[in-house]
Amino acid sequence: MGRTSKPKAGSKGVYPRVRAKTIIPKFNTFKEENGIKVQNFFGYKVGMHQVFGVNKHKGSAYNGMKVKIPVTIIEVPKLNVAGIRFYKGTIGKKPIKEFLFKKFLSKNIDKTNSTLRKGKDKDIKEMDDFYNLNKEAISNAVILAETNPAEAGLPKKKSEMVELYLSGKVDEQMAFIKERLGKPITVDDFSKESAPLDVTAVSIGKGFQGVIKRYGVKRRHHKSQKGVRKVGSIGAWHPPLVMRTAPMPGQMGFHNRTIINCKYVGKCDFLKMPKSFGRYGTVKSEAIMVAGSIPGPKKRMVALRHGIRKFVDTKFDISEVLYN
């Protein structure tokens, strides 16, 4: 059967295709939830594996039978709560004020962090005074947490500062952060098994590529003039301009990409599965499994959040994960 011809591939919904500003992924929107909950978390991509579950798709010939589930393993070492950041209005914009307590930081913290270069350590009483004076202006209080790559199976030692967002009212957020200062936050504080998660990361970088690899444009005839691996025309006479939909060479990969509604399969049981993975090493701390694949190469940091879209699970039952 012949292949259907197509002019190009590539979504316009992800323009511009430029390199990510930072390798640390981030979410700016979160699900509205009642009560105080940690809404996002961070980990490191280990690689892929497979487990077994029970097919529960009623229209399938394999309904009720054991099926393979491809999963991505993410190592999730604990995050240390080291400070607080106050926002007015939209989170992710310039904060009103932040308090980072150096006494709660490890020796592996990246000293090039701009917050750490700004002088003396903050005091908890100073933080309370600022909050009481500016309570009306503050819309969100978020956790400043330190990652722990040294506790994971990575050669990297330098830790980063990340933001953990909380649901609930500002007073509840403030009380939660004060209680957790200097203490770790684990993946159990973030989410329960079988819950839908959104995963974001910076994809694998491929550098500057041409239209064949970047957009899947078909090669021209081998006798074509002025090149074979390029488009025949980049536009018409009228309109007298090159439209943004024309395939052009440029940056490919190293983009921020998000996968929505990944099913949280469960924690890894390394008594029943391998603990070492190629091009990663040995998993030394807790690790979780999410169904399917996620962006980025091995060892890259990934961000997790509670799924914000409606999730209808009709594929498989993972109430009991089977390893063989």
Token duo for residue 213: 């690899």
Q: Read off the pLDDT band of 311 (50, 70, 90).
A: confident
- Give how far Cα 301 sits from Cα of 74, 132, 169, 310, 322, Å: 9, 36, 29, 26, 27
Stated as kind and residue range, the H or E segment containing 174 is: helix 170-180
Q: For the chain, percent helix, then strand, then coil, each to nearest 5?
A: 15, 30, 55
pLDDT at 90: 78
In DSSP notation, 100-126 reads E-GGGS-TTB-TT-GGGGSSSPP-HHH
Confidence band, pLDDT 50/70/90 cuts, at residue 197: very high
For residue 9, the model assigns a pLDDT of 83
Report the sign of the C-alpha dihedral through residues 100, 106, 107, 113, in that order.
Answer: negative
- pLDDT tens digits along 203-216: 999 999 999 999 99
Instruction: Please tell me the distance from the alpha carbon of residue 159 to that of residue 251, in angstroms, as a whole number.
Output: 29
pLDDT tens, position by position, 103-112:
898 888 876 6
Omega within 30 of 0 (cis) for the link into 239: yes
**pLDDT value of residue 115:** 60
Q: Write out the DSSP string of 79-103.
A: EEEEEEEEESSSTTS--SEEEE-GG
**Which of residues 113 and 155 earns the better pLDDT score?**
155
What pLDDT is attached to residue 312?
Answer: 81
Q: What local confidence, expressed as pLDDT, does residue 117 receive?
A: 57
What pTM, to 2 d.p., does this model score? 0.92
Nearest 10 degrees: Cα torsion 91, 97, 99, 105? 50
Mean pLDDT score of the chain: 90
Measure CA of the first residue to CA of the last residue in the chain; give whole Å.
Answer: 38
**Cα–Cα distance between 42 and 208 in angstroms, integer?**
29
CATH code of domain 78-185: 3.30.1430.10
Distance CA 143, CA 301 (A): 18
Over residues 79-92, mean pLDDT: 89
| Domain edges within the chain | 14-29+41-76+192-215+247-324, 78-185
Instruction: Band the pLDDT of 189: cuts 50, 70, 90.
Output: very high
Model confidence over 40-76: pLDDT tens digits? 999 999 999 999 988 888 888 888 888 899 999 999 9
**What is the CATH superfamily name and number for domain 14-29+41-76+192-215+247-324?**
Translation factors (2.40.30.10)
Transcribe 129-169 into DSSP letters. Answer: HHHHHSTTT--EEEEEEE--GGGTT-S---B-EEEE-B-S-
- Cα–Cα distance for residue pair 122/135, rounded to 1 Å: 19
Residue 127 backbone phi and psi in degrees, to 5: -65, -45
State how far the Cα of 38 lies from the Cα of 3, in Å rounded to an integer: 48
How many Cα atoms are found within 13 Å in the side-chain-facing hemisphere of 91? 18
Kindly report, residue by residue over 123-180, the tens digit of the pLDDT.
889 999 999 999 999 999 999 999 999 999 899 899 999 999 999 999 999 999 999 9
> What pLDDT is recorded for position 107?
87
Least confident piece of the model among 20-24, 162-166, 312-316 = 312-316
Using CB atoms within 10 Å of the CB of residue 88, give its burial: 0 to 12 exposed, 13 to 18 middle, 19+ buried.
middle
pLDDT higher than 80, residue 280: yes
The confidence score (pLDDT) of residue 251 equals 97
Mean pLDDT across the stretch 75-103?
Answer: 90
Over the Cα atoms of the chain, what is R_g? 24
Containing 176, the helix (H) or strand (E) segment is helix 170-180
